[in-house]
Amino acid sequence: MDSETHEIAVRVALAKNDKSESDALISDYMPFIKSETAKFINRSPEQSDDELSIAMFAFYEAIRNYSKLRGSFLKFAALQIKNRLIDYYRREKRNMGNISLNMPDEENKNELVDTISDSRDEFSENEIREATKQEIAELSAQMEEFGVSFTDIAENSPKQRRTLEICGKAVRYARNNPQILADFLRTKRVPLAALADGSGVERKTLERHRRYLVAVLLICTNGYEIMRGHIMQVLKGGEG
Amino acid sequence: MMKYVVMQCTKGYAVLMDEESKFYFAANLNYEVGQTVTNPVILSDKYKDGKPVMTIIKTIVAAAACIGVISIPCYSYYNKNLKPCSTVTFASDTAISMTLNSSGKVLSIESDNEYGSKIIEKVNIKGKDNVEAANEILQAEISEGYISAGDTVEIYVEAKSDEKVEDIKSKLETELPKHDIKVNIHDEKKPSKREDKADKLPHEKPTAEITTAAAKAEKPVHTVKTKPVEKPVPPVKKEEPVETPTTPVVVPPADTPPVDTPPVDVPPVAVHPTDTPPLPFENETPHFEKNDDKEILPPHENGKENNKEKNEFGGVHTELTTMGGILPHEKK
């Protein structure tokens, strides 16, 4: 293994658990990512191209899933990018019958999207987006007090339906017992024992998804109306 | 369609939350935090290091299916072609035994003697049908002189089921009489070698168990030949007459010339005087104990050694012990 390969392997190992390091690695290898994308789309990709975003995401996947047994990192990443782009094109193929709103109209003067009357209120939508953004920022700040980030939560989120239902049951129990939520905010610790006993679920399952529970329990507390509205399906699950 | 809220955006990915409160890594397709999106490109666990349980289960199931796919035809092939199902034994000098599979083909052929081994070397019947194989064996035996025209060959068929035995038996019965020999086919096991050996005398060349019917009829009965007694018959000890006077026993004198006695099958005769009650021991049947090594003769009533002796030919010189009677030839 030459020194360059060894250096990449070391950086990849660090980037696996460090978000800033992974961002730095992606920035450093952006020419490589663009080159692999260009091989696939047969042109130089622009920053706004979905293909480039997919390729960057595939590179990030390669960082997460790489191990020395897989050989050279760059070869592995190139393969990952290629596979991701193929998957993306296959998915897009399903929508082939659909007409893009960005297509020019019959007179080739305007795009189709300009001819459709917009029933949406763009102004209110922007307002909602801004409010959501603000809530998310507050939530992120509060989560930092608990020592978790969105990346952690995404990694710790339940993958299986059964686990998700168990966690949902515990969250619903906490929502119906404000004292538990108050204790959670005061102690900054997830009351696993109270949740397990009260909701009748296994404590071990809750322990495994502690960081995920932090985010959802915080959303259940006051101050996150938009977020709570988004996941109302889960929160109402046990009330019907 | 599921809606996702963009919670975080980085260069490589975005964190999304769906309506079921699940969080995902997804490709950042120029998203902004707070944006609601549909159809994101979500991170796949396809290339993850640790093998998920389902993958392992799938691998095991696939492996089991592969083993099943391979082993079931193999097992049925083995059962049909390679598993011993029946045995056909020729009860001749060669003592050839054929092992057959379920379709009646010869799997193996063996013999426990050199005559059989010679025949086995001569014929090549592995894989052939049992009738064809039996024909070849008989042909070889005829050509080698172990059997000849007019002989009867005993063939024993053994199988797990009666139907199979009947099947093989009927085929052999139909096909084998092409030769000038008579074939007796039995649906039972051949008599054990031990019994065979016991029947043969040690000095004899092993003879065929194949015998013609005529030969069987003329087969001499093994009898013990008796030779004329050369020694003078020792005088029978004169017994004291019991209570009443009886007819005196005529004892030949010591210098009586030897009489050529034919094989005697006459039982000992006890002559009792009329009106004389029999002695207590006279009603008892004489008891002879047989022993392979040594012939134990019944002791004389008064405790002396019996006067039966083996002659020089191995025959038994029988001296009749009379109980007060006269032998027929002595009457002369």
Q: Where are the domains of chain A?
A: 3-93, 126-235
pLDDT tens, per residue, chain A with 240 residues = 577 778 888 899 998 888 888 889 999 999 999 999 999 999 999 888 889 999 999 999 899 888 887 888 999 999 999 999 998 888 887 766 666 666 666 666 676 666 666 666 778 888 888 889 999 999 999 999 889 989 889 888 998 889 988 998 999 899 888 899 888 989 988 899 999 999 899 999 999 999 999 999 998 887 788 888 888 776 676 443
Nearest to A48 among B22, B23, B30 (CB): B30
Residue B264 DSSP symbol: P
Chain B contact for A136, CB < 8 A? Answer: yes
Distance, first Cα to last Cα, chain A: 61
Judged by CB atoms within 8 Å, which residues 151-180 of A form the interface with B?
151, 153-154, 157-159, 164, 168, 171
Does some domain include residue B74? no
Is position B71 within any domain? no
Radius of gyration from C-alpha coordinates of chain A: 23
Cβ–Cβ of B3/A84 closer than 8 Å? no
Residue B212 shares a structural domain with residue B227: no
Residue B16, pLDDT score: 92
Residues B236, B201 share a domain: no
Give the residue ranges of DSSP H helices in chain A.
Answer: 3-15, 19-28, 30-41, 50-65, 73-93, 112-115, 122-145, 150-156, 161-176, 178-187, 192-199, 203-208, 210-220, 225-230, 232-235
- One domain, residues B208 and B229: no
Q: Which residues of B touch A157 (CB under 8 A)?
A: 22-24
- Report how far residue B184's alpha carbon sits from residue A215's, in angstroms, rounded to the nearest whole number: 94
Q: Is residue B128 part of a domain?
A: yes
Q: Which residues of chain B have pLDDT under 50?
A: 190, 192-231, 233, 238, 242, 244-247, 249-251, 254, 259, 264, 266, 269-274, 288-312, 314-325, 327, 331-332
State the residue range of the domain holding B132: 86-218
Q: ipTM for the complex? A: 0.83
Q: Which amino acid is at A113?
A: V
Assess whether B166 and B97 both reside in one domain: yes
Task: Say what the pLDDT of residue B325 is.
Answer: 45
Contact criterion met (CB < 8 Å) for A231 and B13 = no
Q: Using a CB–CB cutoff of 8 Å, tell me whether A53 touches chain B.
A: yes
Neighbours of B92 (CB within 10 A): 23
Interface check for B20 against chain A (CB to CB < 8 A): the answer is yes
What is the architecture of the domain spanning A3-93?
Answer: Orthogonal Bundle (1.10)
Same domain for B96 and B115, yes or no, is yes
DSSP B267: P
Residues in chain A with CB shorter than 8 Å from the CB of B28 are 53, 56-57
Q: Are residues B146 and B97 in the same domain?
A: yes
A20 conformational bin, left if phi > 0, alpha if psi -120 to 50, beta if neither = alpha
Q: Inform me whether the C-beta atom of residue B55 falls under 8 Å from chain A C-beta atoms.
A: no
Structural domain count, chain B: 3
The residue out of B218, B243, B269 marking a domain boundary is B218
pLDDT of residue B130: 85
The angle at the Cα of A180, spanning A179 to A185, to the nearest 5 degrees, equals 95
Quick: pLDDT tens for B130-165.
888 888 888 888 888 888 877 888 888 888 888 888
Interacting residues of B232 by C-beta distance below 8 A, sequence separation 6+: B254, B255, B256, B258
DSSP helix/strand/coil, B208 = coil
pLDDT at residue number B222:
38
